[in-house]
Amino acid sequence: MPEPLPATSVIAETVDKYADDLVALRRDLHAHPELSWAEERTSEAVATALEGAGWAVTRPEGGGVLAEIGHGGSLVALRADLDALPVDDLISDPWKSTNPGVAHACGHDVHTAGLVGAGLALAEVATRGLLRGRVRLLFQPAEEVMPGGALHLISAGALEGVSHVFGLHCDPSLDVGRVGLREGPLTGAADALTVRLIGKGGHTSRPHLTEDLTFALGKVITELPAILSRRLDPRAGVSVVWGMVRAGSAHNVIPHGGVVAGTVRMLDAVAWADAEHLIRQLITSIVAPYSVTAEVTYQRGVPPVVNHEESTRLLGIGVENVLGPHGHVSTAQSLGGEDFGWYLDSVPGAMARLGTRTPGGPTYDLHQGNLRVDEGATTIAARVLAEAAVTALGA
């Protein structure tokens, strides 16, 4: 492992100094979650903390926070997401959500507080003359909706001049004090699919006089995933999973309309490029024998997160400077969607998985209202992100 940079001790001291404040911030954000594109209070808290530390802060129209510090040299970006999910918070801690039906069930409160901590540490590094370039912090709105707020920040110039971009995402299956790292694909592409069928309804005793829309809808539900598995390379890991189906209101009435909606996920960017055209074609073929009309809404969501080789190496060094040589562990590619992939379509970068499970404690799942995190992950996130930045600037 390379010798730690002089900034390493400054980062550790500063994060330790603000540790209680960062945990308090994380709890405050958890208690006041905000949905995608509505992260006003969260953004204000972030901006206030960074402006007080000497960062040049801007608030792009439409949402989010950008902050920059340093002079000359290369420019490295660090990203966190701000939004919560429309689920009930099921924890019993004093910092339980005060916003009914909204909760930080994906750890974005940890991401945000961690990046604020990295900002405080990097401000101190800059004050001591140890920052060898510039750092830009990207506090992004709307990660939880497709196609994601990353495109919004990119259009606001968030990546202009950036040489590397780094991010972390909570992983409740990994113990706190461990960071999952992987070169190459880390997540899958994720799209949203809605199929609405329209046809002649009637009595269930006379299906031959109708277009039996419910039967056709069932065919879409079962046959589309099956046919896709034979039309796309199986190594692409294509997965169509339905989350909602609705048709009819009586047991003896064939309805004239119905809808099914779900997600289309895959591991491979090449398959992602071809998926929409093929899916539209297949749905038309599936419903053709039943004479119903299919209205397909296909929303391209996010590409896979594909970690750049050099960026992954730099992030790994940053992890080692914080947690030692055994601090990072290998992690598998998942089918989860993450709009950090849009950043990596534009500049080199890497995302890692931040362990949030208390050793020996229960394993929770993301997007569930009972998610609990070990709060030690907040300060680890702060140090790892700050280290990634100074490592990339010092390389």
User: What is d(CA 188, CA 265) in angstroms, rounded to the nearest whole number?
Assistant: 6
DSSP line for 340-372: HHHHHTTS-EEEEEEEEEPTTS----TT-TT--
Q: Is the dihedral of CA 60, 25, 311, 13 positive or negative?
A: positive
Using alpha carbons, select from 17, 14, 23, 20 the residue that is nearest to residue 374: 23
Please give the DSSP secondary-structure letter assigned to residue 161.
T
The tokens for 287 are: 């419903």
Instruction: Map tokens 């992690």 to a residue.
Output: 331
Residue 34 main-chain phi, psi, to 5 deg: -135, 140
The tokens for 142 are: 């709307």
Is residue 93 part of the annotated active site? The answer reads no
Q: Is the dihedral of CA 335, 337, 338, 343 positive or negative?
A: positive
Using alpha carbons, select from 192, 193, 190, 209 the residue that is nearest to residue 201: 209
CB 287 within 8 A of CB 165: no
Q: Which of 39, 89, 143, 144 is catalytic?
A: 143
CB 147 within 8 A of CB 300: yes
Instruction: Map tokens 């089918």 to a residue.
Output: 335
Residue 4 exposure: Cα atoms within 13 Å on the Cβ side? 18
Q: Which of 81, 83, 171, 175 is catalytic?
A: 83
Give alpha helix (H) positions in the chain.
7-17, 19-31, 40-52, 108-127, 150-155, 213-231, 269-287, 309-323, 340-344, 376-394
Is residue 183 part of the annotated active site? The answer reads no
Residues that are catalytic: 83, 143
